[in-house]
Structure 1
Amino acid sequence: MIRMSTPAPHPGRWAALFVIALAQLMVVLDATIVNIALPQAQAHLGISDADRQWVVTAYTLAFGGLLLLGGRIADFWGRKRTFVVGALGFALASGLGGLAQDALTLFAARGLQGVFGALLAPAGLALLTVLFTEPGERAKAFSVFGAVAGGGSAVGLVLGGVLTEYADWRWCLLVNIPISVVAVALALVFVPESRADGDTRYDVPGAVTVTLGLVALVYGFTRASEDGWSAPWALGSFGAAVVLLVAFVVIEQRSSHPLVPLALLVQRDRGGAYLFSTLVGAGLLGAFLFLTFYFQIVLGYTPLQAGLASLPVTGGVLVAAGVASQLMPRIGPKPLMVTGGLVAAAGMILLTLITPDSSFLTLLLPAQLVLGLGLGLSFVPLASLALVGVGNQDAGAASAVLNATQQVGASLGTALLNTIATTAAASRLAEHPITDPSQTAEVAVYSYVVAFAWAAALLLIGTALIMVLVRAGRREVATPQVAHLG
């Protein structure tokens, strides 16, 4: 029997936090670290322009689509065991990608990274849930986790720039091997095992259905970007996505062992947190994508300069996450998330003021700082709110849904905003044909501005949903129930 109470704190919990944060950083980095390396990898492996986006989406789709299954496996197979297997598999997949001699091998390796990341990430967050039971300590732990989740993407851009410029694009993948080895060695020493009791059967049909549905949806956006929204392939992909995702819901309703208990989604506090997470993921990854284009294509920054120029977002996240961890036990999650969402949207709106020769110090630096501050205020209460009232039996599933919403949002947001930007550029060219080479930058900037405006709208919609749906206050967040470690 699982005795539901507040156990004595585990003595190795802070060392375990370091291990979990290290592994989470590796997982988050791989969503963006290859972005800057893409031109070099594309040239070396002969990847076409149409196919190069799969270097990014193969990872995020496999990761986001299988996180739900990974959470259930972590719950019943053992969170420490799942964490270790995920880290080792991630290292092997990274080695395969780093040594790839053709495009198909690289795409497959990125997909495998997503598969093992889907084991690693939910196991880590579920371990935090059972390791930190005291409200103040839990807030600090989630602030570290939130800062890593929020700032890891920008760090990935910097690291990708350094490795691409001074070593080789392959090291953007190979660098994961030593990180994984260190994480596994420390986990074996400092991380305790925990698991839930009960039936250990898994919902494989649900996992396959939701993953294929998301792939079809992203592929639809990709085809719409190239051929138009009414193209047969685009419409067919969207139709297939709807059918598959509806089938997923039906499977979950009828399954005796669902991939994710639908009750986790319909509870308004968690449901609001998951919706907000999806929309923030879409806007955030879109911002990094188009900022990278703007820095390198329009302003002429080198890969390393572009990565360094993205650091203000990370700085803002780190500062605000520390503030949020102190305020959340006093004021609860909702005020922080609403404030954070509005501040992040303001930062995104500032980015819509860019021109072909904007100043970094007077516009790009403050805009990114504001964006980072807003995100930092949001991430800490978001992680905690998504797990409020979740028992030990479903801790892995609830944390997997949170991670999945961020990855799915990133995949869909990148595809959607790229389609919107491409359409905007084509429309601008149709209305104002280029008569001078200098106008090329103006068209590119116009498309980025449109994308930033849509990203800001996504953040504002997410904030409005938090205002309407979330009711949990500081007491609900401060009194979690978790099971004893065993």
Structure 2
Amino acid sequence: MNFGRTRSSSPGAVLTALAAAQFTVMLATSIVNVALPQIRAGVGLSDGDITWVVNAYGLAFGALLLAGGRAADLLGRRRVLLAGLALFAGSSLAAGLATTPGVLIAARAVQGLGAATIAPAALALTMGLFPSGAGRGRALGVWGAVSGAGGAGGVLLGGVLTQAWGWPWIFHSVALLAVLVLLAVVALVPQTAGQKDGGFDLWGTATVTLALTCLVWGLTTARGAGWTDTRVVGALIGAAALLAAFAAIERRRPDALIPPRLFTTGRVAAGNLLMALLGSVWIALFFFLPLYQQQVLGMSPLATGAGQLPLAVANMLGAALAPAVARRIGGTATVVLALLTEAAGLLWLSGMRTDGSYLVDVLGPSILVGLGLSVAFVQLTALAVEGVPTQDAGLAGGLVNTTRQVGGAIGLAALATLAGSVTSHSSGQPPLAALTAGYQTAFAVSAAILTLTALLAVPLTRGTRPTRDTGARHPVATAVSR
């Protein structure tokens, strides 16, 4: 697929616009975390509804990523990216103007739909811009840096805006950023055309979307209702049945949403499995850490956000170094080292104290976590798109984002339930000690998950060699072609 007429934009400028789109998506994932108490008071949310300010976005995002990736391949990646950014900006503005719980939660769900079209389209365009070699490694380093910086930066910006101007501005700022990114894409990213052959797998898309919706909804509801609640059990059974139906549909479809050819080359399955495990602790980290800082250490929203800066800086540094490290020691060693580094940081966090301090209990482990997280993200993203046919690049991008989001929903649900159980069984202790015990357990289990992931990565990534620059074509109109 060719972009059409050549634009004068350099590959670096195009990458900047696409990375900004990914940053915007990740920013919206975490920017609400610090402001949840103020949002609850502002629109009259109940204790049960407040979680849906986070979950409505994550559910729509995770459930619709595959559909968004396939739409990008069929309709044109630039076109779908622009539509997603416009939808994202409008829904963000609506969320900031909301005065009732229903409007706010609905706006967050539509925001998630926009994110589900932005993320795979932007990643596919990036993979086309840097088809192979060290250039792709550097591009993925940028991708990892902005993804991690978006997660940590969201907490920082959320704290600043909430304390300075109030919670609506966390959504207004995201809307403004989405508009600026949309204008940058219009100006810098050349036009693309969709595939002329193949169709949209409507039944497969509907089935897997409903399955993921049931799965994510069941897991997030279990945090409050319990694992034995009939709604939770029904949702999980429904998810299993729908996934089985999806597998049966895909075997008979010539234009399957997840075609078997996607797994016949490269290491797509391995990359997605490991990314799901990484995601299971990623989202939980940005959920529990701000809570510990505010509820136990007594830090303000602004101070809590500022406290994420070292993690963000470490994340960007790790992402920048990841390609060079992989070229020197190989992909397998890089992934394992990164996962163990993050696990060490999480284990350090599990020793947090009720009478602790930011400098002693948070700063050091945050740096380790940021370094490990970014390097692992870069390498596993590269692994998940390695060897994928160019016509399926959008789908591969959607798939790896889906596994991270769904893995995050599973991990957050399980870890939040575990932390809550530990806290409730620590009733004989002071309230802050009981809360801290729950957070300690969540971080300790997260460290164990990543250690097991590192061990699993050894056989799954064996043979991943250092990459070498192949002298890929420079002109954007050629390099980003399919």
TM-score range, shorter chain: over 0.9
Tell me which residue corresponds to 1:240.
Answer: 238
Give the secondary structure class of the aligned counterpart of 1:377: helix
Of 350, 372, 375, which residue of structure 2 is paired with 1:352? Answer: 350
Q: C-alpha displacement at 1:14, in angstroms?
A: 0.8
Counterpart for residue 461 of structure 1? 452
Distance 1:228 1:129, change over 3 A: closer
Corresponding residue to 2:431 among 440, 447, 459? 440
CA distance in 1, matches of 2:388, 2:216: 31
Deviation of the 1:260 alpha carbon: 1.8
State which of 358, 374, 378 in structure 1 corresponds to 2:372: 374
Query: Which residue of structure 1 aligns with residue 91 of structure 2?
Result: 93
Deviates most, 156-165 or 171-180: 171-180
Quote the residue 1:324 is aligned against: 322
Correspondence for 1:259: 257
Shift of 1:238: 2.0
Displacement of 1:194 after TM fit? 3.3
Residue 401 of structure 1, CA deviation: 0.8
Q: Which residue of 2 aligns with 1:183?
A: 181
Partner residue of 1:485? Answer: 481
Cα distance in 1 between the residues matched to 2:163 and 2:441: 30
**Counterpart Cα distance in 2 of 1:69 and 1:199:** 17
Which ranges of structure 2 fall in alignment gaps of 5 or more residues?
Answer: none
Distance, in Å, in 2 between the alignment partners of 1:109 and 1:168 is 18
Paired with 1:59 and 1:266, the residues of 2 have a C-alpha distance of: 33
**How big is the shift at 1:460?**
2.1
Equivalent residue in structure 1 for 2:57, among 56, 59, 77 = 59
Larger mean CA deviation between 308-317 and 220-229 belongs to 220-229
1:340 CA drift (Å): 0.3
Q: Is the 8 A contact 1:64 1:404 kept in 2?
A: yes
- The number of residue pairs the alignment matches comes to 474
Equivalent residue, structure 1, for 2:153:
155
SS in 2 for 1:386: helix
CA distance in 2, matches of 1:300, 1:396: 44
Find the aligned partners of 1:70 and 1:123 in 2 and give their Cα distance. 8
Once residues 249 and 357 of structure 1 are traced to their aligned partners in structure 2, the CA distance between those partners, rounded to angstroms, is 52
1:97·1:105 contact (CA, 8 Å) conserved in 2?
yes
User: How far apart, CA to CA, are the structure 2 residues paired with 1:270 and 1:260?
Assistant: 11
Q: For 1:412 and 1:388, locate their aligned partners in 2 and report how far apart those are by CA, in whole Å.
A: 26
3-state SS in 2 of match to 1:31: helix
Moved more, 327-336 or 393-402: 327-336
Alignment of 1:185-204 (within 5 A): 185-195=183-193, 197-204=195-202
Q: CA deviation at 1:88?
A: 1.0
Matches within 5 A, 1:272-287: 272-287=270-285
- 1:254, distance to aligned residue in structure 2 (A): 2.4
Larger deviation, residues 262-271 vs 126-135? 262-271
CA drift at 1:196: 5.4
* Equivalent in the alignment of 1:309: 307
Query: Structure 1 residue 131: deviation in Å?
Result: 1.0
Equivalent pair of 1:9/1:133 in contact (CA under 8 Å):
no
CA distance in 1, matches of 2:220, 2:73: 35
Matched residue SS, 1:175: helix
Does the residue aligned with 1:106 lie in a helix, a strand or coil? helix
Q: 1:194/1:423 Cα in 2 relative to 1: closer, same or farther (>3 Å)? A: same
Q: Counterpart amino acid of 2:167?
A: W
Q: SS at the partner of 1:257?
A: coil
Q: How much is the aligned-residue C-alpha RMSD, in angstroms?
A: 2.4
Deviation of 1:268 after TM superposition, in Å, equals 7.1
Contact 1:127 1:194 in 2 (8 A): no
Q: Are the aligned partners of 1:296 and 1:306 in contact in 2 as well (CA < 8 Å)?
A: yes
Structure 2 residue aligned with 1:416, among 396, 414, 417? 414
Amino acid across the alignment from 1:281: G
Whether contact under 8 Å (1:222, 1:419) holds in the other structure is no
Q: State the match for 1:452 in structure 2.
A: 443
Q: Could you tell me how far apart the structure 1 residues matched to 2:237 and 2:303 are? A: 42
What letter corresponds to residue 54 of structure 2 in structure 1? Answer: V
Q: How far is 1:459 from its partner?
A: 1.5
CA distance in 2, matches of 1:478, 1:265: 25
Does the CA-based 8 Å contact 2:201-2:255 persist in structure 1? yes
Name the CA shift for 1:55/1:204 in 2 (closer, same or farther; >3 Å): farther
- Alignment partner, residue 20 of structure 1: 18
* Secondary structure of 2:322 counterpart: helix
Q: Letter of the aligned partner of 1:69 in structure 2?
A: A
- Report which stretch shifted further, 255-264 or 108-117: 255-264
Q: What letter is aligned with 2:22? A: Q
Tell me by how many angstroms 1:425 deviates: 1.6
Question: Using a 3 Å threshold, how does the CA distance of structure 1 residues 180 and 367 change in structure 2: closer, same or farther?
Answer: same
- Provide, for residues 99-133 of structure 1, a one-character-per-residue CA deviation record: whole Å limited to 9, x for no partner: 11211111111111111111111111111111123
Q: Deviations over 1:408-464 (max 9, x none)?
A: 1222222221111112222222xxx35xxxx11110001111111221122223222
**Aligned mates of 1:359, 1:145 — CA distance in 2:** 32
Query: Once the 2 structures are TM-superposed, how far is the Cα of residue 263 of structure 1 from its aligned partner?
Result: 4.0
| CA positional deviation for 1:484 | 6.2
Query: 2:158 matched to 1:129?
Result: no
- CA-CA distance at 1:9 after TM superposition: 12
After TM superposition, list the pairs within 5 Å mapping 1:100-119 onto structure 2: 100-119=98-117
Change beyond 3 A, Cα 1:348–1:137: same
In the superposition, the TM-score normalised over structure 2's length comes to 0.92
Distance apart, 1:191 and its partner CA:
0.6
Q: 2:266 touches 2:387 (CA, 8 Å); kept in 1?
A: no
What stretches of structure 1 of length at least 5 have no aligned partner? Answer: none
Local SS of the residue matching 2:267: helix
Distance 2:45 2:96 in 1: 15
Residue type of the alignment partner of 2:481: L
Letter of the 2:33 partner, please give it: N
Conserved in 1, the CA contact under 8 Å of 2:75 and 2:195? no
Match of 1:209 among 207, 210, 229: 207
Q: Retained in 1: the 8 A contact 2:76–2:195?
A: no
Q: Tell me if the contact between 1:269 and 1:385 (Cα under 8 Å) persists in the aligned partners.
A: yes
Farther-moved stretch of structure 1 (404-413 vs 59-68): 404-413
Amino acid at match of 1:442: A
SS at match of 2:95: helix
Quote how far apart the aligned CAs of 1:64 are. Answer: 1.3
Q: Is the 8 A contact 2:250 2:256 kept in 1?
A: yes
* 8 A contact 2:89–2:175 mirrored in 1: yes
CA distance in 1, matches of 2:84, 2:257: 19
CA distance in 2, matches of 1:37, 1:280: 26
What letter matches 2:56 in structure 1?
A
Deviations 1:394-418 (Å, cap 9, x if unpaired)?
1111111111112212222222211
Give me the identity figure in percent: 38
